[in-house]
Copies of this chain bind each other. A is one copy, B any other.
Amino acid sequence: MQNFEFFNPVNIVFGQGQIKKLSHLVPTGTKIMLAYGGGSIFKNGVYDQVKAALPGLDLIEFGGIEPNPRYETLMKAVEIVKNEKIGFILAVGGGSVLDGVKFIAAAALWEEGDPWNFLTNRKLVVTKAIPLGSVMTLPATGSEMNGNSVVTRLSTQEKLAFNANAVLPLFSILDPTVVYSLPEKQVANGVVDAFVHVMEQYLTYPVDSPIQDRFAESILVTLIEEGPKVLANRSDYDAAANFMWAATMALNGLIGVGVPQDWATHTIGHELTAFHDIDHARTLAIVLPGIMQVKKESKREKLLQYGERVWGVREGTVNERIQHTIQKTVTFFESFGIPTKLSAYNIGADFIPVVCQRFTDRGIKGIGEKGDLTIEQIAEVLTLQL
């Protein structure tokens, strides 16, 4: 096991009927921004529950945060936070709203020029932010229990991430009944998103870390079991709850402590979103099988362990087991109606050099857990997934 630090002070309030606890969780004596996305929280009753839990508070609403939240939109909120002297931001929505609020919270106190800089320049560290909390309405990204945020800039077609303890939510309310009204596509995306989050922290190379490995496998198996139940019956409370908790545990830092991490699938996937506006989870379902194939040698031991423990693949030669395991993964994604090929989005081979050029322009030589997935191999991954 590698040395690590783990710090996750997010207060998780989990279960049906918990939104009413907002009145105890939100700080008093300060102006609050209530931030959300599109209209779903008006349809599923969450908006009404939130408002009912916060009577008499000084609230300013900011709606319209997009899926893949946009810098241009968020900067409007930053202006309001500054002008209105907002002291707390409550994010009500899915991962995009939460990611957007983290950016707003950090940008509002950023004093070194354009806040976009802390996304483009890894050396700039966010150390302060307006305190924030969340009511999570879409199990998927894990943003409710981490300090990660991904923001898209339309003008430059860039999608970039930052991470800071300063933007860890003070609390996150997870009420599984929000799943009842989710469209099929969002459930499917959520399951795949959480699944790939685990894979990025698990499918690397062994470092003798049995707790982390087994926790990761626990989440994968749970998503495989519970995902289809949620899709089949959105009102199955226990399935919704288990899916929701799995998505949170997939990216709250715990399974990634002391182990190497990959994140090449995300890095390449972000470009598919930036250029073609494909849903985040769907980009991951395209890229991951390609990386498993191209990196089957350096990931061999973990691929075999994953195949055996998660999919029960025990028969055949090493290569047969690996191919069987990749196929199991592809079939799982596709069983949720999520394609794993670029052709499903009418993207052809001409897109590949465009993506590669972007990595070259950023001075990137290689990505992944060993930094050895080269630009040429990124092209190979995307060619396999045409």
Contact = CB atoms under 8 A, between A and B. Distances in A.
A84 B147 CA distance: 39
Interface size grouping (class) on chain A: 35 or more
Interface string A1-22: 1111111111111111110000
Contact of A245 (B1, B7, B10, B18): B1
Interface centre among A14, A209, A217, A226, by most chain B C-beta atoms within 10 angstroms, is A14
Nearest to A4: B14
Interface string A63-101: 000000000000000000000000000000000000000
A6 B12 contact: yes
Interface in A225-249: 225-226, 238, 241-242, 245-246, 249
Nearest to A242: B210
Q: How many copies does the complex hold?
A: 2
A257 interface: yes
Interface string A188-223: 000000000000000000001111001101110110
A259 to B, nearest CB: 11
Contact of A3 (B6, B16, B209): B16
A12 B7 contact: yes
A4 B15 contact: yes
Contacts of A242: 1, 208-211
Contact of A13 (B5, B221, B245): B5
A339 interface: no
9 contacts: A3-B18, A7-B11, A14-B257, A208-B242, A211-B219, A214-B214, A214-B217, A218-B218, A245-B258
